[in-house]
Structure 1
Amino acid sequence: MSEITSAEAQEIEATDGYGVAELNGISLRIKSVSHWRPSYMRALRQGDYDGWAAGVLHEDDVQLFIDEDATFDEINAFTTAAMEAVGETPGKSGARSRSSRSTRKR
């Protein structure tokens, strides 16, 4: 998870706990990562973008997202921007990474 600056935290707080990202010029509000459920990430990984949007976007923005009917490239750019807007780095896990050193026995 990436660090959110104090200015970014104030902006999120000012927008009632939502970050903002754009999809084809439309600003959509995204819940803070701390309010996401594991099922939302599962939906995103499985390509259920409408299900993901219903879970993480502001309720007034979900239909805008669906109606936009964006391409996969546009959705991928948006989901990356959305996750970064609320402090999550896409593709990064909170789990410890394995050592790059070989553990071969001698």
Structure 2
Amino acid sequence: MAANPRPAARKTAARAQSRPRVPEPDVTEAEAQEIEAEGHYVTVELCGEDLRIIPPAAWRLSYQRLLNAGQVDAFIERVLHPDDVDLFVELDCTGAEFQQFIVDAGEQGGESLGKSPARSRSGKTMRRR
């Protein structure tokens, strides 16, 4: 017996109708990028040079997946200010310097990238059945 696609279609349509439409401002694409970029960067030193980077709390998960997959250049293109990407490539930092750069970016953004303040669950005793 085939599933009825109509209820799902109704839910999607109802969800779309319940959201208020926000009028789009008359801004060019370049202006929108400038507005988006303004104030979203912190300045962090790497190999004696100041670079502007988006704080880690504002990174998209897709950016973090790039970093976790080892695609550092693609990651950097997304989180650094466009004017600083070439300088980053020229600096050719070590892994330790890069790691410290990311930690410093987190601290500049007001967060710590260290261990979670949550209690460790490994210390809990397990109840036997």
Query: What TM-score do the two structures reach when normalised by structure 1?
Result: 0.68
Whether the 8 Å contact between 2:57 and 2:106 is mirrored in structure 1 is no
Q: Cα distance, 1:87 vs. partner?
A: 3.0
1:61 aligned counterpart, secondary structure: helix
Query: Who is 2:89 aligned against?
Result: 66
Point out the more displaced range, 22-31 or 42-51: 42-51
Query: Who is 2:45 aligned against?
Result: 22
Percent identity, please: 45
2:93 aligned counterpart, secondary structure: coil
Q: Cα distance, 1:100 vs. partner?
A: 2.4
1:70 aligned counterpart, secondary structure: coil
The letter of the residue matching 1:27 is D
In structure 2, the CA distance between the partners of 1:49 and 1:88, relative to structure 1 (3 Å rule), is farther
In structure 2, the CA distance between the partners of 1:74 and 1:34, relative to structure 1 (3 Å rule), is closer
Query: Who is 1:90 aligned against?
Result: 113
In structure 2, the CA distance between the partners of 1:35 and 1:101, relative to structure 1 (3 Å rule), is closer
Task: Provide structure 2 residue ranges, at least 5 long, that are not aligned to the other structure.
Answer: 1-37
Relative contact order (C-alpha < 8 Å, sep 6+): which is higher?
Answer: 1
Q: Cα distance, 1:91 vs. partner?
A: 4.7
Distance 1:32 1:75 in 2: 14
Q: Which of these residues, 32, 48, 64, is aligned with residue 41 of structure 1?
A: 64
Larger Rg belongs to: 2
Query: Who is 2:98 aligned against?
Result: 75
Q: Deviation per CA, 1:64-97: give whole Å up to 9, x if none.
A: 1112111112111112212222234325569885
Query: What TM-score do the two structures reach when normalised by structure 2?
Result: 0.58
Task: Provide structure 1 residue ranges, at least 5 long, that are not aligned to the other structure.
Answer: 1-14
